[in-house]
Amino acid sequence: MEAIFALWYRDILRFARNKGRLFGSFAMPFMFLVVFGTGMGGAIRSLMSASRTAGPLGQFNFAGFMFPGIIGMTVFTTSLFSALSVVQDREFGYLREILVSPVSRVSIAVGKILGGSTVAVIQGLLMLVFAPFAGAKLTPLIVAQLVPAMFLVAFTLSSLGLIIASLLKTSEGFQVVVQVIIFPMLFLSGVFFPLSGMPPWLNILVKINPLTYAVDLFKKILLPSGGMDPLLRKAMGLDLSVLGIPVTAGHEVAFIALAGLVFVGLAALSFSRSD
CB atoms within 10 A of CB 199: 7
CB 133 within 8 A of CB 54: no
Phi-psi region of 198 (alpha: psi -120 to 50; beta: other; left: phi over 0): beta
The pLDDT profile of the chain, 275 residues, written as one tens digit per residue, is: 777 888 788 888 888 777 766 666 667 777 777 776 666 655 555 655 555 555 555 556 667 778 888 888 888 888 888 888 778 777 776 667 776 667 777 777 888 888 889 988 988 888 888 888 777 788 888 889 999 999 999 999 888 888 888 887 788 888 888 888 888 888 888 777 777 767 788 888 888 888 888 888 888 888 765 545 555 566 555 677 777 788 888 888 998 999 888 888 888 787 666 55
pTM: 0.83
CB within 8 Å of 225: residues ≥ 6 apart: 233, 238
